[in-house]
């Protein structure tokens, strides 16, 4: 043992000396040896570079893994990692919260489909089959899950196919819709309350209009009528030679006539009696005739021959919407022609179009100032819809659809 050690040490020392001579480029080294040394040095440098690159890749992989774990563990949505189609390999803490589980093993021991409502199992199965066969992301689909306490919860699932060193796998993402459903329900409730309040306000407004119209008719109308009769009686009692006084009485009588006509117009605008007495179509015909007379705009009307019987509330809604559209045309459209068409099948379709200046797309959002919000509220309350199509320089079309 003692004699061998000095020999080994001597051999290593000689090799070191030889290596130093080779690297040093001794003149005694042949060109072949020089080439061999050069190749060794290059190979060593390549190994060092590869080693450094490998270390960098390992570092980046470690960072990526840490990021993945952070995103996976702290994601708000539940995420399952599925291996061999149905085998749950891994899940994040959000799964425990969504399925109301205390420990991971309570879920890991279950079949994936058992976590979903029977009505949703076919949807989940189809998503998984498509993800495997097509190798494409399956977009979010609304499903219902079964929590471990037996409660049902609305959710959305999406599936992403992936591959790692062990083979193919699937990421199943499940988004809890409980809060969104609660918000949607609250919004619907608020919308219904708003519509009911708006409708109630409109009903109160119509009742007030009728009351005011009746009071104007009974009080002012009667007063002016009596005044007109008194003036006529007084005119018969004036001496023939009192021409100036007679002219004054005639002028007064003319002013009274103008007042009576103004009262009639105001009463009609407040609540046209023809709407209550003859129905919707005759009222719209009268409305179109009045529109032509007031504005001078040519107006074409096409309505069914048979009268449509609607309840008073719907009749008033259609009449007021028509009135508002015609008012907007006279004020803003600069139109020379208007077409009004009504069709009736399973629903009432009112279409009013003009050849006016139209509305620029940038101004469409500000249309609510033209009473359109009120018209839409009237239509929506009865399950209808109001659509506006407008093209600058061509005209505007307003379509009302109201179920019967």
pLDDT tens column, 254-263: 888 888 888 8
How many residues are recorded in the chain? 404
3-state SS, 242-254, equals CHHHHHHHHHHHH
Specify the pLDDT at position 289: 92
**Alpha helices (H) in 296-389, listed in sequence order:** 312-328, 372-381
| Residue among 245, 243, 218 nearest 231 (CA) | 245
* Residue-wise DSSP of 43-81: HHHHHHHHHHHHHHHHHHHHHHHHHHHHHHHH-SSEEEE
pTM of the predicted protein model? 0.55
Residue 287 structure tokens: 């409305």
Give the pLDDT confidence score for residue 11 in this predicted structure.
47
Poorest-confidence range of 21-25, 90-94, 104-108, 289-293? Answer: 21-25
Sequence-ordered list of residues with C-beta below 8 angstroms from that of 93, at least 6 positions apart, any chain = 73
* Gap between the terminal Cα atoms of the chain: 112
* Domain 75-176 and domain 274-404 have a common topology: no
Check if the beta carbon of residue 340 is closer than 8 Å to that of residue 284: yes
Cα separation, 318 vs 324, in Å, equals 10
CATH of domain 75-176: 3.30.450.20
Share of the chain above pLDDT 90, in %: 35
Q: Which CATH class is domain 274-404?
A: alpha beta
Average pLDDT value for residue range 212-226: 82
Q: Where are the alpha helices (DSSP H) in 216-279?
A: 222-236, 243-270, 273-277
For the chain, the domains span 11-68, 75-176, 180-271, 274-404
Nearest to 37 by CA among 18, 55, 50, 54: 18
């Amino acid at each position: 043992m003692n004699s061998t050690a000095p020999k080994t040490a001597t051999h290593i020392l000689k090799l070191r000396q030889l290596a130093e001579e080779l690297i040093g480029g001794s003149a005694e080294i042949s060109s072949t040896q020089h080439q061999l040394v050069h190749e060794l040095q290059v190979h060593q440098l390549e190994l060092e570079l590869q080693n450094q690159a490998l270390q960098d890749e390992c570092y980046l992989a470690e960072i990526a893994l840490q990021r993945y774990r952070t995103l996976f563990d702290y994601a708000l949505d539940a995420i399952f990692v599925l291996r061999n189609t149905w085998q749950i390999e891994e899940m994040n803490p959000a799964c425990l919260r969504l399925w109301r589980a205390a420990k991971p093993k309570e879920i890991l021991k279950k079949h994936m489909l058992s976590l979903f409502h029977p009505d949703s199992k076919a949807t989940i199965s189809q998503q998984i089959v498509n993800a495997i066969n097509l190798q494409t992301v399956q977009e979010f689909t609304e499903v219902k899950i079964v929590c471990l306490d037996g409660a049902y919860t609305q959710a959305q699932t999406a599936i992403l196919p992936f591959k790692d060193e062990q083979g193919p796998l699937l990421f199943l993402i499940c988004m809890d819709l409980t809060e969104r459903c609660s918000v949607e329900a609250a919004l619907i409730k608020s919308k219904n309350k708003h519509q009911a309040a708006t409708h109630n306000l409109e009903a109160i407004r119509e009742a007030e209009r009728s009351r005011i119209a009746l009071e104007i008719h009974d009080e002012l109308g009667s007063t002016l009528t009596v005044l007109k009769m008194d003036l006529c009686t007084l005119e018969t009692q004036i001496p023939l030679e009192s021409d100036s006084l007679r002219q004054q009485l005639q002028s007064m009588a003319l002013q009274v006539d103008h007042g009576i006509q103004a009262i009639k117009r105001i009463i009609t605008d407040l609540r046209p009696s023809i709407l209550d007495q003859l129905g919707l179509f005759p009222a719209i015909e009268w409305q179109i005739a009045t529109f032509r007379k007031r504005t001078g705009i040519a107006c074409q009307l096409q309505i069914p021959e048979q009268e449509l019987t609607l309840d008073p509330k719907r009749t008033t809604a259609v009449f007021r919407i028509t009135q508002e559209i015609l008012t907007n045309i006279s004020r803003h459209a600069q139109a020379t022609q208007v077409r009004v068409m009504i069709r009736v099948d399973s629903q009432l379709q009112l279409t009013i179009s003009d050849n006016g200046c139209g509305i620029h797309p940038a101004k469409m959002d500000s249309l609510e100032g033209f009473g359109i919000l009120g018209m839409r509220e009237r239509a929506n309350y009865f399950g209808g819809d109001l659509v506006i199509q407008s093209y600058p320089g061509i005209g505007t079309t307003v379509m009302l659809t109201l179920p019967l």
